[in-house]
Chains A and B, each alone.
Chain A
């Protein structure tokens, strides 16, 4: 069974700090992995998608990496801002077994001014 885990559940940092969010998954035959952002009372917005053939993806201050052999992905946020405060979820997709996104429970990030 494919499972996705995120630790820590919550993280609080001062503005300007660089930070890393962690995601781990149980099946290395992952097809792709996505990072989503969820603001309070809102739906999920996809931030980055990494295909299994890729090692990382970058968008602005965000960089996501994927290491299939270790079953890990990280989301690096550079020079954090209060507007980055949100819950970040990672989700894996496999083409074997159930072809559906499997979500982690998320990391709630608070960036203080």
Chain B
């Protein structure tokens, strides 16, 4: 198995632009997690899907952030409009059990 796949690996965009991050979970895993990692705040859970349904989105910082999981093999995290404070590394993780999560390599987002 290729593990969790994220794209792009790096994204540089200007403030105000729309950003879409993509994730392909490990086949057979029924839970998917989006995290954000910054030096100041560490690793924060943004949203958690189970069987393609959002279960907990309390970590989504504001309405500019949205996430979808149209099927078991694909999820997106969208930021519109993006702001410099959104610069971070965004990780996707998948699991068959909530606490046993496998992480992707991350997308490093820079908003100028």
List residues of A whose CB falls within 8 A of some B CB.
31-32, 34, 41-46, 49, 89, 93, 98-101, 103-106
> In the complex, are the beta carbons of B98 and A43 less than 8 A apart?
no
**B63 within 8 Å of A (CB atoms):** no
The smallest beta-carbon distance between A45 and chain B, in angstroms, is: 7
> In the complex, are the beta carbons of B42 and A105 less than 8 A apart?
yes
A43-B103 contact, Cβ under 8 Å, with A93-B98, A99-B98: yes
Of A43, A89, A99, the contact of B106 (CB 8 Å cutoff): A43
> In the complex, are the beta carbons of A100 and B98 less than 8 A apart?
yes
Offer 25 A-B interface pairs, CB within 8 angstroms, sorted by A.
Answer: A31-B99, A32-B99, A41-B105, A41-B106, A41-B108, A42-B105, A43-B91, A43-B93, A43-B104, A44-B43, A44-B91, A44-B103, A46-B100, A46-B101, A49-B99, A98-B56, A99-B98, A100-B45, A101-B45, A101-B99, A103-B42, A103-B43, A105-B42, A105-B43, A106-B42
**B4 within 8 Å of A (CB atoms):** yes
Interface size class of B (residues with CB under 8 A): 20 to 34
**B49 within 8 Å of A (CB atoms):** no
Residues of A within 8 A of B45 (CB): 100-101
Query: Which B residues from 10 to 69 make CB contacts under 8 A with A?
Result: 33, 42-43, 45, 48, 56, 58
Residues of A within 8 A of B100 (CB): 46, 49
Residues of B within 8 A of A31 (CB): 99
> In the complex, are the beta carbons of B4 and A89 less than 8 A apart?
no
Q: B56-99: contact bitstring with A at CB < 8 Å (1 yes, 0 no)?
A: 10100000000000000000000000000000000101000011
Given contacts A42-B106, A45-B103, A103-B43, 7 further A-B contacts (CB under 8 A): A43-B93, A43-B105, A46-B100, A46-B101, A49-B99, A49-B100, A105-B42
